[in-house]
Structure 1
Amino acid sequence: MTLYNLVIFHQTRWQHISDFLTIRNMMAGLAPDIAVHVISEGSAVPADFWVRVAKLPTLIFSPLPVHIDATVRGTRIISAQMTKLEEAKLFADAGFPTPRTTGIVPETRLNEGQWGPFVVVKPNRGGQGQGIRLMRTRDVRWVDPNSWPKDDPRHGQNLLAQQYVDTGPYTRSYRVFTVLGHAVYSRSSTATQAVPIPDPAGSEPVDLDITSNGVERTVELANDREIVALAESIHRKFPLIPTMGLDIIRHHATGQLFVLELNSSGFTWHLSSNYGLAYQRKFALDYYGQFDALRVIAKAFIDTTRRMAI
């Protein structure tokens, strides 16, 4: 007997529909009490669909923003984009380790005693490591966003400053993709060339690409249980966020972990996005096989629907 509805929204190019159809088939055997409905972007929805759905407790899931009438029944777990500054505040307020972060405004002057000799300056919105630079803390100043060249990723962008965390001579970062609080895959990205950090006491200006994804690099699946556990604990703290692409780094000297971003825009379903498939081919990665991705997601849907559907 059906006791719940799960409504999944699929967006072409950003997730392959076969992911959700396979998950629906898995759930048919694992959870016959949940009726799974997959709605593709731009497809016609029967006129009485939401009326029928309203008869049972319902969970609505979408990796990307989608408009649904306010009168529709169901718990909504739908992506809502935040700025990087808002994400950093979310982590800090919840007690998770994240570097000190602040927006850069005309009055900004940073204290080296609090921030250290270097900071990372990045656009408050954006992705793929674009526009992220290492600077001397004392040199950080507000710049008119429109003064950057139009082909510069900083053009028109508000910038933020983030405390620099040294991940070692070969810059390294981790990405953990989570769905409903469960790790689906985890990978590392490591620069193939050492990044020479200038003398902290020097006087010359510093403007370096400090990312591990803006330079030549190696990318590998990484099952570091401490990193995966941190990612899952962060996501489970925020159960109404559907997916997270958590960027995590480890301090080279101390081993301490820091979370940088969750990529709240929702463009992170790289199991089967066009971008993600090309990326997996380039680096010979198997996102599906690492943790048995679709089975992990199916079980997450079952647990979340039974607990949170209304």
Structure 2
Amino acid sequence: MKVLVVNDIVTNRSRGLAVALERRGCETVTAALSEIGFDTGSPSGLAIPGLGAGELPDAVLVRSVAAGSFEAITRRLGVLHALARLGVPVWNSAQAIERCVDKSMTTFLLQRAGLPTPATFAVEGRDAAQAIVAHEAGPLVLKPLFGAQGRGIRLVRSTEDLPPEADVSGVYYLQRYVPRPGPPFRDYRVFVCADRVLAMMLRRGDDWITNINRGATPEGLVSPDGELEKLAIAAARAVGADFAGVDILPDAEGRLFILEVNSMPAWSGLQSVVAVDIADAIAEALLDFLAARADTPASLLPASAAC
């Protein structure tokens, strides 16, 4: 079995995925989406580095997609759509990645699934954003629509705190601030794979933005009542992710709110405080999925899994 690991930067974590797959008898090929081309002269319509002309992998595991222009990202996600159209299982699918990269769609899907998420607004233009800030009684959190690791997040208490349109590409994604005790502040990262929680951690930090790269400290966590696991699994299902890092925040009264679902989650901080080998668990889950899929009649497979 040949698995394509999609990654723009090869790190210890992506190498861990390849090692885990190879330990289970797979051959792995690693390539960035930017290196995979559409080629109508190829039998498959794609040209994939490391594979023969027209050759396709048995599965694709998406570790990361590099930032780029709107045109570049559209083309790269098009490659994933094309692979799925050719019948190649893709973890995570282009659709799941699109849903998670766009925070407005993530929160829309969470709300439609009946899951607890803070009141959220996504509008174009500073005038529309000012109207929301003026209407809301408490502070709001402004986040980049496309962004990760806490970069570009700011607290908005009044219309004067709103940045110029040029700073946010004209789009204001505003989420009601969830009050909680601190410092230290805390929230949870729950790693879900194939409808199962692999690991969880509590992030504790002096900053209300509790990302590990901003200085927060990870701590291993076992949920005594299972509520975190239930919410995280439901959130991953809501966006259609095969694996995901789900960020969950407790308010001052202990109520839980889902903030984000990351379809290309980093797990260095999490791996440092849990016993389970996350890369190994992802590899095992993918191969279990492929084995189950091989036993399923083609007529019962979802439409996205067949040409």
Which band: TM-score by shorter chain?
A: 0.5 to 0.7
Separation in 2 of the partners of 1:59 and 1:304? Answer: 10
Higher relative contact order (CA 8 A, sep 6+): 1
8 A contact 2:142–2:156 mirrored in 1: yes
How many residue pairs get aligned? The number is 251
Give 1:285's match in structure 2, choosing from 262, 272, 282.
272
Which residue number in structure 2 is paired with residue 184 of structure 1? 198
SS at match of 2:152: coil
Q: 1:229 to 1:19 in 2, by over 3 A?
A: same
Report the alpha carbon displacement of residue 91 of structure 1 after superposing the two structures with TM.
Answer: 1.1
Aligned counterparts, 1:28-43, within 5 A: 28=25, 36-41=26-31, 43=49
SS at match of 2:228: helix
Separation in 1 of the partners of 2:103 and 2:198? Answer: 23
Q: 1:127 to 1:64 in 2, by over 3 A?
A: closer
The TM-score, its normalising length taken from structure 1, stands at: 0.67
Report the alpha carbon displacement of residue 121 of structure 1 after superposing the two structures with TM.
Answer: 1.8
Separation in 2 of the partners of 1:135 and 1:298? Answer: 42
Q: 2:63 corresponds to which letter in structure 1? A: P
8 A contact 2:205–2:217 mirrored in 1: yes
Separation in 1 of the partners of 2:60 and 2:236? Answer: 18
Give 2:20's match in structure 1, choosing from 19, 22, 39.
22
Which residue number in structure 2 is paired with residue 134 of structure 1? 155
Give 1:296's match in structure 2, choosing from 276, 281, 288.
281
**Over residues 177-236 of structure 1, what are the superposed CA-to-partner deviations in whole Å (9 max), with x where a residue is unaligned?**
3333333332222223xxxxxxxxxxxxxxxx7412386533212222422332123223
Q: 1:178 to 1:157 in 2, by over 3 A?
A: farther
Aligned counterparts, 1:1-310, within 5 A: 7-11=3-7, 12-14=9-11, 15-26=13-24, 28=25, 36-41=26-31, 43-47=49-53, 49-50=55-56, 59-65=59-65, 67=79, 69=82, 72-77=86-91, 78-79=93-94, 80-81=97-98, 82-104=101-123, 105=125, 106-108=127-129, 109-110=131-132, 115-136=136-157, 139=159, 143-146=163-166, 154=167, 156=169, 158-170=171-183, 171-192=185-206, 210-213=208-211, 216-224=215-223, 225-239=226-240, 241-253=241-253, 255-264=254-263, 266=264, 268-270=265-267, 276=268, 279=269, 285-287=272-274, 289=275, 291-305=276-290, 306-307=292-293
Report the alpha carbon displacement of residue 257 of structure 1 after superposing the two structures with TM.
Answer: 1.0
8 A contact 2:191–2:243 mirrored in 1: yes
SS at match of 2:128: coil
Separation in 2 of the partners of 1:157 and 1:130? Answer: 17
Instruction: Using the TM superposition, name which of 219-228 and 294-303 deviates more.
Output: 294-303
Q: 1:90 to 1:142 in 2, by over 3 A?
A: same
SS at match of 1:296: helix
Q: 1:298 to 1:215 in 2, by over 3 A?
A: closer
SS at match of 1:16: helix
Which residue number in structure 1 is paired with residue 46 of structure 2? none
The TM-score, its normalising length taken from structure 2, stands at: 0.68
SS at match of 1:95: coil
Q: 2:251 corresponds to which letter in structure 1? A: H
Q: 1:110 corresponds to which letter in structure 2? A: I
Q: Percent identity?
A: 22
Instruction: Using the TM superposition, name which of 242-251 and 103-112 deviates more.
Output: 103-112
Q: 1:285 to 1:64 in 2, by over 3 A?
A: closer
8 A contact 1:180–1:300 mirrored in 2: yes
Separation in 2 of the partners of 1:107 and 1:243? Answer: 35
Report the alpha carbon displacement of residue 124 of structure 1 after superposing the two structures with TM.
Answer: 1.6
- Structure 2 spans left out of the alignment, 5+ residues: 36-48, 66-75, 294-300
Report the alpha carbon displacement of residue 133 of structure 1 after superposing the two structures with TM.
Answer: 2.3
SS at match of 1:223: coil
Report the alpha carbon displacement of residue 9 of structure 1 after superposing the two structures with TM.
Answer: 1.7
Q: 1:24 to 1:242 in 2, by over 3 A?
A: farther
Separation in 2 of the partners of 1:237 and 1:84? Answer: 13
SS at match of 2:181: coil
Structure with more helix by fraction: 2
Q: 1:45 to 1:245 in 2, by over 3 A?
A: same
Q: 1:89 to 1:176 in 2, by over 3 A?
A: same
